[in-house]
Amino acid sequence: MKQKSLSFFTLISFALVSVALANIAHAGRYELIKGKGVEVCEAYGKNLNLSKSRLPMHCERAVSREMKDFHKPEWIRLDFSRSYGLLGKIDRFLWERDANPVYYFPITEWRQWRGTKEQYDRAWKSYKIDRDRRTIIGHMTSSVDIDNDGTPDNVYLDETCSSGAYGALLLVLNSDRTDLDYAKTKLVMPHPSRKEQGLGEFRTVKEGDFGIGPNDVKRGYMWVEDSLHDVFYDVFRYREKTYFDQWWRNHPNFQGKADFMVGKLHVFVIENHETQEICTYRYNNTD
């Protein structure tokens, strides 16, 4: 059931985005609203706008060849045959921190959802099947000094952008890639966990909300978007320092509007074991 609902949701989203593209005759722009006068923020804004993208860049933010001070990490895919135990730990971590379980519970039974142990166990099994199906895509790693302490880290990007069903979360692995480095992973996940958000599993919807179909309107509610499926991180280096950015494709705070109408791009840097947001951009395609 989960796979069918996700596929339908993805098709509807793509269809709506196609309509939006048809109605946007010009490229949008990233407007710097926090970090004005900060060198990296000004330079990154210039880089983003060189893409002349008609919609926000979701899965990754491109680096223009004209911007010689910017570099992207070289990502390689984890060898699944040697990393099965690690991927199991990652799956469990993301399930407990970021996944809304009703994504993996049949829509026809949403009214019976009470968050019982049995229902969580059932959703977990569906989630694991879904995760195991994507072992040949995603699971990207790179050696990059993500915390700017002078030592390269094993950074993991949970990216499956081609599927349209997942976001792209950042994590950090330990030195031998057998487990997560939980302290450093916390630094590269500045978004709150689902529990910290306190938004529950469902939210109300109405006619006219972006990405919402007639059946959703009739039902009157939909799942609360979670970071596992809808937040996209990316990493870049500017001169001698590493930064990472964050974009939400869907978020409850959008209040029924699309990301190209209300979304913001956030840029973070880690220094002295602390994560700080230094740049914020608003995407504007209304000029």
Domain that holds residue 52: 2-284
Q: Does residue 112 carry a pLDDT above 50?
A: yes
Q: For residue range 245-265, list pLDDT tens digits in order.
A: 999 999 988 988 999 999 999
Q: Where are the beta strands (DSSP E) in 192-272?
A: 202-204, 221-223, 231-238, 241-248, 264-271
Q: Does residue 162 carry a pLDDT above 70?
A: no
Taking the C-alpha atoms of residue 1 and residue 212, their distance in angstroms, rounded to an integer, is 18
Closest to 248 in 3D by CA, of 217, 214, 281, 207: 281
Taking the C-alpha atoms of residue 147 and residue 269, their distance in angstroms, rounded to an integer, is 8
Q: For residue range 270-283, list pLDDT tens digits in order.
A: 999 999 999 999 99
pLDDT for 16 equals 44
**Alpha carbon 282 to its chain's center:** 17
Burial of 227 (0-12, 13-18, 19+ CB in 10 A): buried
Type and span of the H or E element at 279: strand 274-284
Q: Where are the beta strands (DSSP E) in 98-253?
A: 140-144, 153-159, 168-173, 202-204, 221-223, 231-238, 241-248
Q: Where are the beta strands (DSSP E) in 6-69?
A: 29-34
Q: Does residue 166 carry a pLDDT above 50?
A: yes
Integer angstrom CA distances of residue 108 from 40, 112, 144, 216, 221:
49, 9, 45, 12, 13
Taking the C-alpha atoms of residue 193 and residue 213, their distance in angstroms, rounded to an integer, is 27
Confidence of residue 135 (pLDDT cuts 50, 70, 90): low
Taking the C-alpha atoms of residue 278 and residue 268, their distance in angstroms, rounded to an integer, is 6
Q: Does residue 139 carry a pLDDT above 50?
A: yes
Question: Considering its fold, how many domains does the chain have in total?
Answer: 1
What are residue 114's phi and psi, to 5 degrees?
-130, 0
Confidence of residue 60 (pLDDT cuts 50, 70, 90): confident
Which residues are within 8 A (CB) of 78 and not within 5 positions of it... i.e. 6 or more apart?
A: 86, 87, 139, 140, 141, 156, 177
Residue type, 21: L
